[in-house]
């Protein structure tokens, strides 16, 4: 059956499929998406699709409907059950087949969605398949006249844990007390399997019970409010480090022994240094809102930094094109060549734990080596016309601009180490600001000025 273009285009986004369950996404819709996806990858030679799901109440039924859509097109389905998104990527790499993960990541419980990949966890974005799927769902997915596929189940959790540990030397660490806030998300499922077998680690669990209603806090560590419980827990328990994961556990945020958040850019720099130590001259991808400390450190360690747009589909494509050993985003997505170029928050966590466990300094002192600038974090503005807001901000700058580029939104270099990026969100109706400078005072000054310009322009426009 055909579906309204407005609804389909609202739900099938630049990177994934995501929307309100019942209003925008239901079993019939995802069955059509499954059929369209199966037709797409069948034409590329695929014979089966692996499917994982998170702990949301709607995920099992939606995953089943998607599986029916896939099998209706003649492809087999392998269901791995409860999984983190990077566990699904592992299964896609292990089985060398396309995959679908049912999750809405950090979004509230009323939402759900699908992250799709080709065999070997290769990304499926707007320009690499999602537009084709959208068009087919709108027009109506053609029937397949061959035999239906079959569905089997396979548990890959233990293999996933073993594989991640094989990528990081976990021997000879000093004892570490590791507080982990799963946020009632999928890290409550995967953290014990990955970290539990490491003798040096004592895991201190927080909110490990899988619960898609997120009864304690949103599973979105990018919001500082959602780190408060972990910060308190770290100091109360005397943990050496705190790890916080989002709902589908593909992003990892780090808190030091004093309860202070560690910048994802600093984590990117640390992991890049570790990866470059085993392959000098390798390429490292960083998105344009990571700290400038990242490309500086990569060059210092003999590597080649390459700048990318924000978003996993862009990073993954660039990882493949350049053969990069590692890639990092300021949103705490971390990509590894040895993990099929896909992102894994748990693998990034292992690298940070290894760096901490291999020496005697506390995490705060260790990470100071990678923190060279001050940053605002991402600030969001709800505006009706983001393009005119950006133009107003740029016009107000006059001759203060040292340089400007338009790789993703606008990135403006103000000199003296200060710069900012303004870009429109690909997933939400927001204008996003990131500022970096040498001091907190300089950061606050730029944020205050840009915010005032946006507010003034918005008032004039209403």
How many CA within 13 A on the CB side of residue 385?
Answer: 11
End-to-end CA separation in angstroms for the chain: 42
109 counts as catalytic: no
Choosing from 58, 84, 105, 313, which is the catalytic residue? 105
Q: In whole angstroms, give the CA distance from residue 156 to residue 94.
A: 9
Q: What is the 3-state secondary structure (H, E, C) of 8-38?
A: HHHHECCCCEEEEECCCECHHHHHHHHHHHH
**φ, ψ at 284 (rounded to 5°):** -125, 130
The residue with tokens 């996806």 is 37
Q: What angle do CA 38, 42, 47 make, to 5 degrees?
A: 95
Q: What angle do CA 39, 40, 41 make, to 5 degrees?
A: 95
The residue with tokens 């285009």 is 9
Q: What is the 3-state secondary structure (H, E, C) of 283-332?
A: EEEEECCCCCHHHHHHHHCCCEEEEECCCHHHHHHHHHHHCCCEEECCCC
C-beta separation of 253 from 227 below 8 A: yes
What stretch of H or E contains 42? helix 27-42
From residue 135, how far is each of 26, 166, 416 by CA, in Å? Answer: 18, 42, 48
DSSP 337: G
Q: In whole angstroms, give the CA distance from residue 310 to residue 290.
A: 10
Distance of CA 321 to the CA centre of its chain: 20
C-beta separation of 167 from 339 below 8 A: yes
Which residues are CB-contacts of 247 (< 8 A; sequence separation ≥ 6)?
Answer: 54, 103, 104, 105, 106, 107, 183, 185, 186, 214, 219, 220
Q: Is 142 exposed, middle or buried (0-12, 13-18, 19+ CB in 10 A)?
A: exposed
The dihedral sign for the CA sequence 99, 328, 333, 124: negative
Which residues are CB-contacts of 22 (< 8 A; sequence separation ≥ 6)?
Answer: none
Active-site residue set: 105
């Amino acid at each position: 059956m055909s579906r309204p273009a407005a609804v389909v285009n609202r739900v099938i986004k630049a990177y994934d499929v995501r929307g309100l369950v019942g209003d925008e996404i239901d079993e019939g819709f995802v069955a059509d998406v499954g059929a369209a996806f199966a037709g797409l990858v069948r034409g590329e030679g695929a014979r089966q699709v692996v499917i994982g799901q998170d702990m949301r109440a709607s995920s099992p039924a939606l995953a089943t409907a998607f599986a029916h859509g896939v099998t209706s097109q003649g492809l087999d389905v392998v269901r791995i059950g409860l999984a983190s998104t990077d566990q699904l990527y592992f299964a896609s790499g292990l089985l060398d087949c396309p995959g679908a993960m049912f999750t809405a990541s950090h979004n509230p419980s009323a939402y759900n969605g699908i992250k799709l990949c080709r065999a070997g966890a290769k990304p499926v974005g707007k320009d690499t398949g999602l537009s084709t799927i959208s068009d087919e769902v709108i027009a109506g997915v053609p029937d397949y006249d061959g035999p239906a596929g079959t569905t089997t189940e396979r548990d890959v959790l233990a293999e996933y844990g073993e594989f991640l540990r094989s990528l990081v030397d976990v021997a000879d660490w000093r004892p570490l007390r590791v507080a982990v806030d799963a946020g009632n998300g999928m890290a409550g499922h995967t953290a014990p399997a990955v970290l539990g077998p490491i003798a040096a680690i004592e895991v201190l669990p927080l909110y490990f019970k899988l619960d898609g209603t997120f009864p304690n806090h949103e599973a979105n560590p990018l919001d500082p409010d959602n780190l408060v419980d972990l910060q308190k827990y770290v100091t109360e328990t005397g943990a050496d480090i705190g790890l916080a994961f989002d709902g589908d556990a593909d992003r990892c945020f780090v808190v030091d022994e004093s309860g202070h958040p560690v910048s994802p850019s600093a984590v990117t720099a640390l992991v890049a240094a570790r990866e470059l130590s085993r392959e000098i001259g390798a390429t490292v991808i960083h998105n344009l809102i990571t700290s400038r400390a990242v490309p500086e450190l990569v060059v210092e360690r003999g590597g080649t930094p390459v700048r990318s747009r924000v978003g996993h589909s862009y990073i993954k494509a660039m990882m493949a094109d350049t053969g990069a050993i590692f890639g990092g985003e300021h949103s705490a997505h971390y990509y590894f060549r040895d993990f099929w170029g896909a992102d894994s928050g748990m693998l990034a966590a292992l690298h940070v734990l290894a760096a901490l466990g291999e020496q005697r300094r506390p995490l705060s002192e260790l990470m100071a080596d990678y923190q060279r600038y001050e940053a605002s974090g991402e600030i969001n503005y709800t505006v009706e016309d983001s393009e005119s807001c950006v133009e107003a901000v740029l016009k107000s700058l006059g001759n203060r601009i040292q340089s400007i580029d338009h790789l993703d939104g606008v990135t403006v270099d103000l000199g003296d180490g200060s710069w900012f990026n303004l870009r429109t969100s690909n997933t939400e109706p927001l204008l996003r600001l990131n500022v970096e400078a040498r001091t907190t005072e300089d950061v606050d000054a730029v944020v205050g000025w840009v915010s005032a310009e946006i507010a003034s322009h918005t008032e004039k426009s209403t």
